[in-house]
Amino acid sequence: MRNKKYVLDLLKSENDQLQKIHGIIEKAITEETLITTTIQETDEARSYGEKLSDKVAELGGSWKFIIIFGVLLMIWIFYNTEIMRNKSFDPYPYILLNLILSCIAAIQAPIIMMSQNRKEVKDRKRSINDYMINLKSEIEIRNLHEKVDLSIIDQYKHLCDIQQKQLELLEEVNKKLRLMTKL
């Protein structure tokens, strides 16, 4: 029962969202303005934490980071195993290294997730904008089809009128010819 209520609430909120989007599109159509000017992608001013999370995500998800980190790990292991042999500060099971790696992963993961969440919100806004533009394009294409159809119908009526006039003129010419042949 609880899940059913959750799903119904979710559907209602999605429906409300779609109604708002359709309202914006209808307003844009009646005012004959472009949807792209109605919805603008704004890159809001980001806080220092948001900028930092974006930089960490950018660095942490790059080959540069993987290569540098791999080299540092090899140096750490080589230094503690070969150079410092008996006096190493982190002997073979490398417990300190494992602690440092765990801490880095524990800090880096939520920071990257924050950056991804912000990008997801931005992508959602962009997809709503794309949806509205596509919907407006579809409506405009339908309007153009109607205009072309009306134009064709008007041209057909005009051609029929011209043909009717030509028939009347031919009939008149034919009458005059008959009169002339009788004389």
Query: What pLDDT is stored for residue 41 in this prediction?
Result: 44
Residue 154 confidence (pLDDT):
84
Structure-token pair, residue 158: 């005009």
How distant, in Å, are the alpha carbons of 81, 97, 98, 150, 162 from that of 89? Answer: 10, 10, 13, 87, 103
Q: 169 — alpha (psi -120 to 50), left (phi > 0) or beta? A: alpha
Burial of 35 per CB tally in 10 Å (0-12, 13-18, 19+): buried
Tokens 């948001």 — which residue?
50
Query: What is the pTM assigned to this prediction?
Result: 0.54
Do residues 78 and 19 touch, judged by C-beta distance below 8 A?
no
What is the C-alpha to C-alpha distance for residues 47 and 82, in angstroms, rounded to an integer? 45
Cα–chain-centroid distance for residue 147? 30
Question: pLDDT tens digits for 98-126?
Answer: 999 999 999 999 999 999 998 998 899 89
Under 8 Å between Cβ of 26 and 135? no
pLDDT at 4: 67
For 32-45, write each residue's pLDDT tens digit: 665 555 555 445 67
Per-residue pLDDT of the chain (183 residues; tens, 9 = 90+): 666 676 667 667 767 776 777 777 777 677 766 555 555 544 567 889 888 888 988 988 899 999 999 999 999 999 988 888 888 888 888 999 999 999 999 999 999 999 999 899 889 989 988 988 898 888 889 888 888 888 888 888 888 989 999 999 999 999 999 999 887
Domains of the chain by residue range: 1-41, 46-121, 138-183
* pLDDT for 44: 62
Please provide the DSSP assignment of 135-183 as one string. HHHHHHHHHHHHHHHHHHHHHHHHHHHHHHHHHHHHHHHHHHHHHHHH-
